[in-house]
Amino acid sequence: MDEIRILLVDDDATFCALTSDLLRKHGFIAETALNTLRAREILAQGTFDILMLDLCVPALQDGFGLLDEVRAKYPNLLVLMISGEGNISDAVHAIKNGASDFIEKPIEPEHLLVRIQNLSERIRGERQLKKLEQSAIGMVGVSDAMKKVFGQIVSAAGYDLPVLITGETGVGKELASRAVHRLSKFGGRDMVSINCASVPRDLFEAELFGYEKGAFTGAVNSYKGYFEFARNTSFFLDEISELPIDVQAKLLRVLSEGEIQRIGSKVGIADTRIISASNQDLQAAVQNGRFREALFYRLNSIRIHIPPLRQHSADIVPLAGHFINDFCQRQHTLPKEISPRAQVWLTEQKWEGNARELKNCVERAMICSQRSVLEADDFLILPGGEEADTTSEGTLRDSLRKYETHLIREHLKANGFNISQTAKQLGMDKSNLCKRIRALGISLQS
Ligand SMILES: Nc1ncnc2c1ncn2[C@@H]1O[C@H](COP(=O)(O)OP(=O)(O)OP(=O)(O)O)[C@@H](O)[C@H]1O
Ligand SMILES: [Mg+2]
């Protein structure tokens, strides 16, 4: 998509015909409109990159009106204003109102081409930048909601302030944190990450800030905490709501004083960019005293909220396609398509587990379906049975179901989730195993 589309608006039919011919000969896509009414219609129908607009023709009295309208409606459209000879005041007025350049009549073809080439370079540069940003963000999304999130990621990356990423489980908070880091000034370095839910409470302070030898009984050597590793890079604190309240106070001090304090000594300035994430309502945690208000406001300097997938269902099919491609690359298998009916079915699901649930569902279908075009029933998974509990009581049927789930999962785990090997070990046919995996809703991830 490297083409540049130009709309020329001028009431001189001969000028329009000659100029559009010249532009087409030089590889541009050119359309013409002899009045502003027609121009509005054409603009509404297609996407254009450059609008050449003659403001000096009486029939185009509304030219300035069109310019204002275009600036508001199509902010990415560049306007090359055509002015009458010596009509500099109009040109100045147009530039002030957002036109990108102007050219005086009579127009020499070479001059026009130079102006158009300059604008085209600018457009291609912007397109390239967008592509780079999109691939650096590394997230899929075509909906306005996700485009807004991508914009926030790019803008957050440019500041030195803490970023808080919120959203339900599986919406892509970790992915977004990596994108903020990658696009930031620390992007060339590794990001340091910690999951606050997985650190034992009494070790938290030592893990984060480290300690000096002899700082307490048992501190036989000095110990470098995460904060020191995170010097000159980003520090991602996942599930920040789980940070113990006393450690919250210490984190607040790091943020307000820019200083890390090892247990037993001061270590100096911490040039660290804090990115935190939470799927909990931190404001509610502040209200019921589980989270320090001052820390919340610090962490929340820049907020990126990722909406649940069901609120931007336009992204479901593109995401499913992305997960298929990703799966095929990792597993060296051929891609499959998703039938139009299955696409509708996928779009109508609730996806309480968001992108993660969709990813699991797509991968399960990739493994279990024999079809090259996936249908809705390939994605059908019965709920339940994530972690089989073989001890609890229930009906015989329930117990058997739980036992079967447990058995299949254990064998799958032991075989690195390789279906053929697991089927062999269980003495089952591969397609039968797939059916059972689907029927029991067994996850194909450890
Ligand atoms: N927009 C997206 N584009 C591509 N992949 C995505 C997107 N959003 C999420 N994913 C994928 O979905 C999965 C879950 O994402 P991630 O781990 O970032 O979610 P999370 O919000 O951190 O979840 P949790 O709250 O459970 O920690 C990952 O495999 C991730 O790669
Ligand atoms: Mg996460």
441 or 268: which carries more pLDDT confidence?
441
CA-closest residue to ligand 1 atom 15 = 172
Examine the domain organization and report whether 153 and 246 are in the same domain: yes
Q: Are 115 and 78 in contact (CB under 8 A)?
A: no
For residues 363 and 372, give the distance between their C-alpha atoms in angstroms, rounded to a whole number: 14
Q: Is 137 inside a domain boundary?
A: no
Q: Which ligand is in closest contact with the Cα of 177?
A: 1
Given 305, 325, 356, the domain boundary residue is 305
For residues 397 and 50, give the distance between their C-alpha atoms in angstroms, rounded to a whole number: 68
Q: Are 77 and 70 in contact (CB under 8 A)?
A: yes
Question: The domain that contains 166 carries what CATH number?
Answer: 3.40.50.300
- Centre of ligand 1 to C-alpha 174, Å, is 6
Examine the domain organization and report whether 175 and 323 are in the same domain: no
For residues 56 and 373, give the distance between their C-alpha atoms in angstroms, rounded to a whole number: 58
Q: Where are the alpha helices (DSSP H) in 203-335?
A: 204-209, 226-229, 245-257, 282-287, 293-299, 316-331
Structure tokens at 316: 């479901």
Tokens 């001052």 label which residue?
294
Q: How many CA atoms lie less than 13 Å away from 137 in the CB half-sphere?
A: 24
Q: 195 CB under 6 A from ligand 1?
A: no
Q: Is 138 inside a domain boundary?
A: no
Q: Which ligand is in closest contact with the Cα of 170?
A: 1
Name the phi and psi angles at 70, rounded to 5: -65, -40
> Could you tell me the pLDDT band of residue 58, with boundaries at 50, 70 and 90?
low
- pLDDT tens per residue across span 345-362: 999 988 989 999 999 999
Residue 49 parent element (H or E): none
Q: Is 136 inside a domain boundary?
A: no
**Strand order, beta sheet including 272-278:** 192-195, 233-238, 272-278, 163-166, 302-305
> Could you tell me the pLDDT band of residue 130, with boundaries at 50, 70 and 90?
confident
Q: Is 30 inside a domain boundary?
A: yes
Using CA atoms, how far residue 435 sits from 364, 375, 377, 408, in Å, is 11, 15, 11, 12
Q: Is 139 inside a domain boundary?
A: no
Mean pLDDT (whole number) for 229-250: 93
Structure tokens at 304: 């990126």
- pLDDT tens per residue across span 113-124: 999 999 999 999
Given 305, 336, 356, the domain boundary residue is 305
Examine the domain organization and report whether 241 and 300 are in the same domain: yes
pLDDT of 318 reads 93
What is the share, in percent, of the chain residues with pLDDT greater than 90?
45
Given 88, 106, 130, the domain boundary residue is 130
Q: Rg of the Cα trace of the chain?
A: 30
Examine the domain organization and report whether 315 and 284 are in the same domain: no
Examine the domain organization and report whether 298 and 151 are in the same domain: yes
pLDDT of 157 reads 93
Which has the minimum average pLDDT: 56-60, 140-144, 195-199, 314-318? 56-60
pLDDT of 381 reads 52
Using CA atoms, how far residue 55 sits from 23, 31, 40, 65, 104, in Å, is 20, 18, 15, 10, 11
Examine the domain organization and report whether 40 and 178 are in the same domain: no
What is the average pLDDT value for the chain, to the nearest integer?
86
Could you tell me the sign of the dihedral formed by the alpha carbons of 382, 384, 386, 392, in that order? negative
Instruction: Using alpha carbons, select from 255, 139, 277 the residue that is nearest to residue 195.
Output: 277
Question: The domain that contains 94 carries what CATH number?
Answer: 3.40.50.2300
pLDDT of 386 reads 40
For residues 279 and 40, give the distance between their C-alpha atoms in angstroms, rounded to a whole number: 45
CA-closest residue to ligand 1 atom 13 = 356
- Centre of ligand 2 to C-alpha 365, Å, is 24
Q: Is 218 inside a domain boundary?
A: yes
Q: 170 CB under 6 A from ligand 1?
A: yes
168: Cβ–Cβ under 8 A, 6 or more apart, which residues? 279, 308, 352, 354
Tokens 């010249």 label which residue?
22
Please choose from 175, 238, 306 the residue to mutate so as to test ligand 1's pocket, defined by most ligand atoms within 8 A of CB.
175
Q: In the predicted model, is pLDDT for residue 269 greater than 80?
A: no
Q: Is the pTM of this model over 0.85?
A: no
Examine the domain organization and report whether 278 and 220 are in the same domain: yes
The domain tally of the chain equals 3
Q: Where are the alpha helices (DSSP H) in 184-242?
A: 204-209, 226-229
Question: The domain that contains 406 carries what CATH number?
Answer: 1.10.8.60
pLDDT of 135 reads 77
Q: 279 CB under 6 A from ligand 1?
A: yes
The domain containing residue 353 runs over which residues? 311-440
What SS3 class is residue 5? strand
What SS3 class is residue 31? strand
* Helices 63-73/88-96 angle, 10° precision: 20
Q: 305 CB under 6 A from ligand 1?
A: no
Query: Which residues face 102 on adjacent strands?
Result: 81
Examine the domain organization and report whether 289 and 315 are in the same domain: no
For residues 293 and 5, give the distance between their C-alpha atoms in angstroms, rounded to a whole number: 52
Which has the minimum average pLDDT: 112-121, 231-240, 266-275? 266-275
